[in-house]
Amino acid sequence: MKKRILAALFAAAMVASLTACGGGNDAATDTAAETTEETTEDAAATEETADAAGETKDLSELKLAFIVGTENDAFYQSVEEGIVAQCEALGIPEPTLADQQLDGNICSDLINNYVAAGYDAVALSANDPAGTMPAIQAANEQGVEIFTFDCTLDDEYLDQYVAFVGSNNYAGGVTAGEYIAEHAPEGSTVGCITYASAQSTRDRQAGFEETIQAAIDGGKDLTLIESQDADNDQAKASDIMQNLITQYGDDLSYIFVVGDPTGYGALASIQSAGASTKIVGFDAGQTACEYIADPEVGKIWEAEVAQNPVGIGSGIVDKIAEYFQTGAVAGEQKDLIECELVTAENVADYLN
C-alpha cells in the first residue's frame, strides 16, 4: 500500500518536472497535484478500512462459545437449537453452550474462562450489562470478539461488541399495548409486571407503557398503574399479582407480563382469587400457547407477543460467520427481528 503511494508521488513529481521543462504549463501542474492528493486520500482510506477490519478465519477452525440467560427457560432452549443447527449447517465445529443462570457473576466467570481457553468469539445474552462489562472489556483487550443476542448491552457500550441479534422488544411492547388498549373496557385499570434488570424487558415495558399512555391521551378511558418488578421470578410475580387483585379487584382488566415465567405466577394468583384480570404475555413458548388454546385458561391468558428464538440463535451464528469470513459485519450493528401477536385465532400455528 505504501509502495503504491510512493509510486503515485513519484509519477506526480515527474509530470511537474516535465511541465517545467516545457515552459510552465500551470494546468498540468494543478492536475498532477490533484491526482496526487486524491491518490493519497484513497490510499489512506483503504489503509484505515483494513485497520478496522477484523481477522478472517476459516469457519471450520472457529472455537465459539454461546452463553444463554438460563437453560431452564424454553425460550433459551430454542435459541440453543438455532445455534447448534446453524453451526452444523455452516461447517462450524460444535459450539460450547453455557448457562449463566441469569447471574452476572456467573456470566463474567464464563467469559473469563473462554478468554483463557483461547476462544475466537463469545456470544452472550447480556442480561446483566453493567455486571458483565469488566469481563467483556477484558475479552476485547485479549482479542476475543464479543457478540450479543436476545439481551444486548446498553447503548453506551456499542463499541464493546461486534453485532447483536434479537427481537424488536420495544415494538413487541407496542403490540401488547395496542391489543390491551383495544380490548380493555372503558374506565378500567391496566398494568405491567416487568423484569427491570434486562434491557430487552425494559424495552418491552417502555413500548407497552408509552402505547397505553398514547391511547389515554387520545381519549381512551383507562388508568395505567405503575409497573412492578418481579425479577423474572414466578413466585414474586404471583405475590405482585395477588396484591394488585386485592388493591384493584375487578377494575384491573389486563396485566401485561414481559416474559412467560412471570405470566405463570400471575396466572396462579388470578385463578386462585377467581379474578377477572386477563393476561397478555411475551415469548409465546409452548406452555403459554397451550394456555391460549385452552377453552378455560384462554379466558384469562388471551394473547402473547411471539418471538423467534430459533431465528435469533441461527442469526447470531450467521453474524459471527460473516465477521470471520470478511473481517466485518455489513448493515446495522443491531439486527432486530419483528414480533407477532398470538391469539386464539392463530395460536394453532404456534403449537407443536
**Spatial distance between the Cα atoms of 271 and 262, rounded to a whole number of angstroms:** 15
Q: Do 6 and 140 share a domain, yes or no?
A: no
CATH number where 134 lies = 3.40.50.2300
Question: % helix / strand / coil in the chain, to the nearest 5?
Answer: 55, 15, 25
Domain encompassing residue 325 = 62-166+310-337
Single out the residue of 234, 240, 245 nearest to residue 277, CA to CA.
245
Q: Do 252 and 333 share a domain, yes or no?
A: no
Q: Do 182 and 295 share a domain, yes or no?
A: yes
Q: What is the pLDDT of residues 263-304, one digit of tens each?
A: 999 999 999 999 999 999 999 999 999 999 999 999 999 999
| Cα 165 to the center of its chain, rounded Å | 5
Burial-class residue 339 by CB neighbours within 10 Å (0-12, 13-18, 19+): buried
Number of structural domains, the chain? 3
Question: Is residue 271 a contact partner of residue 300, using CB atoms and an 8 Å limit?
Answer: yes
pLDDT band at 26 (very low <50, low <70, confident <90, very high): very low
Domain-embedded: residue 205: yes
Domain-embedded: residue 45: no
Q: What is the pLDDT of residues 97-156, one digit of tens each?
A: 999 998 999 999 999 999 999 999 999 999 888 899 999 999 999 999 999 999 998 889
Q: Do 222 and 140 share a domain, yes or no?
A: no
What pLDDT does 53 receive? 61
